[in-house]
């Protein structure tokens, strides 16, 4: 594991500790980001840092660093870590408190943590054969647009998928698609790419944005709108997307085939566009 950045210091993993009274530990009172790095080049760093700032503002937590300071720290870690391709995790909590109290401390001292881990691309077989998913009621809180560290509901939902031998849980709230337990979900029907509307019930995914940008760039018809559960189950294709898993086809949902039960032609196109886009990032010529 790489050195860990903690409140202005670079430490070995065994040296990096936070107080028991840190609100991130006791309440999950914090925000996080996961930034993929290809060939030591962070993927969409500006967008990740902007989302970090939005989430911090949403919970009234001062950002301990400016965007330029975060950028310098991320680039330093990307250069020094052991791997060319990495996943950089950063987290900011409201910091320690004198006594356990739900109300915010008057003068918070945020705790900032960052580290890198090796990132391997999704198994080629998953892209070629597809993955299975289960459906689940979206039991999470009503501010999923905030990338908060309190992820117990997401963990429960993801474990439900794992227990069923599946790659993801596809979530529905009040009869409509929201997202996956740890991914964005896309639907293809009759040549049209469908994406749920960004709102407080889903995380504004960075990869979600890339896919819609690629669709627009390449002339793939697409709509962003509410998507009913029946539409998901009757889809020709179903995809999951995230920073670390990129784009994968879901070919089975609740043990029932999606479309023909194999990755579809629009998925093959999107995967090719995404890999070309990623290659541009690795060359330092990110687009579109």
CATH code for the domain of 230: 3.20.10.10
Compute the average pLDDT of residues 169-181: 98
Residue 31 has pLDDT above 70, yes or no: yes
- The answer to whether position 287 is within a domain reads no
Asked if 165 and 268 sit in the same domain, the reply is yes
Residues designated catalytic: 147
CA 192/CA 195 separation, integer angstroms: 10
Number of independent structural domains in the chain: 2
Q: Which of 227, 240, 268 is nearest to 132 (CA)?
A: 240
Asked if 151 and 83 sit in the same domain, the reply is no
Asked if 143 and 94 sit in the same domain, the reply is no
- The answer to whether position 288 is within a domain reads no
Domain that holds residue 183: 124-282
Higher per-residue confidence, 143 vs 283:
143
Asked if 43 and 60 sit in the same domain, the reply is yes
Report the chain's mean pLDDT, rounded to a whole number.
96
Asked if 104 and 230 sit in the same domain, the reply is no
What's the pLDDT score for residue 1?
A: 75
Residue 3 has pLDDT above 50, yes or no: yes
Asked if 15 and 107 sit in the same domain, the reply is yes
Residue 122 has pLDDT above 90, yes or no: no
Residue 288 has pLDDT above 50, yes or no: no
The pTM score is: 0.94
Among residues 97, 118, 139, the one where a domain terminates is: 118
- The answer to whether position 79 is within a domain reads yes
Integer CA distances (angstroms), 269 to 17, 186, 219, 233, 240, in order: 46, 14, 12, 22, 15
User: Could you please report the per-residue DSSP string of 130-190?
Assistant: -EEEEEEE--S-S-TTS-BS--HHHHHHHHHHHHTT-SEEEEEETTEEEEETTBEEEEEET
Contact 114, 5 (CB under 8 A): yes
Residue 135 has pLDDT above 80, yes or no: yes
Q: Is 287 helix (H, G, I), strand (E, B) or coil?
A: coil
- The answer to whether position 49 is within a domain reads yes
């Amino acid at each position: 594991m790489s050195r860990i950045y903690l409140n202005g210091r670079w430490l070995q993993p065994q040296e990096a500790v936070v107080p028991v009274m840190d609100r991130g530990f006791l309440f999950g009172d914090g925000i996080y980001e996961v930034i993929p790095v290809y060939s030591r080049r962070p993927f969409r760093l500006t967008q990740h840092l902007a989302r970090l700032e939005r989430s911090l503002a949403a919970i009234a937590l001062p950002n301990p660093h400016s965007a330029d300071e975060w950028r310098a720290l991320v680039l330093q870690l990307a250069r020094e870590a052991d791997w060319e391709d990495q996943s950089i995790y950063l987290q900011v909590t409201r910091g320690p408190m004198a006594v356990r109290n739900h109300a915010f401390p008057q003068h918070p001292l945020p705790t900032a943590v960052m580290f890198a881990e090796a990132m391997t691309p999704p198994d080629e077989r998953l892209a070629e054969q597809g993955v299975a998913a289960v459906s689940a009621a979206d039991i999470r809180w009503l501010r999923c647009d905030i990338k908060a560290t309190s992820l117990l509901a997401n963990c429960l939902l993801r474990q439900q998928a794992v227990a069923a031998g599946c790659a993801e849980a596809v979530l529905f709230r009040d009869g409509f698609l929201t997202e996956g337990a740890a991914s964005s979900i896309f639907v293809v029907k009759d040549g049209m790419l469908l994406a749920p509307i960004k709102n407080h019930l889903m995380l504004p995914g960075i990869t979600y944005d890339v896919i819609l940008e690629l669709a627009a760039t390449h002339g793939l018809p697409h709509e962003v709108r509410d998507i009913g559960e029946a539409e998901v189950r009757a889809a020709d294709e179903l995809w999951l997307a995230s920073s670390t898993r990129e784009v994968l086809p879901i070919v089975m949902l609740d043990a029932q085939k999606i479309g023909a039960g194999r990755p579809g032609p629009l998925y093959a196109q999107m995967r090719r566009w995404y890999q070309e886009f990623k290659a541009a990032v690795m060359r330092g010529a990110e687009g579109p």
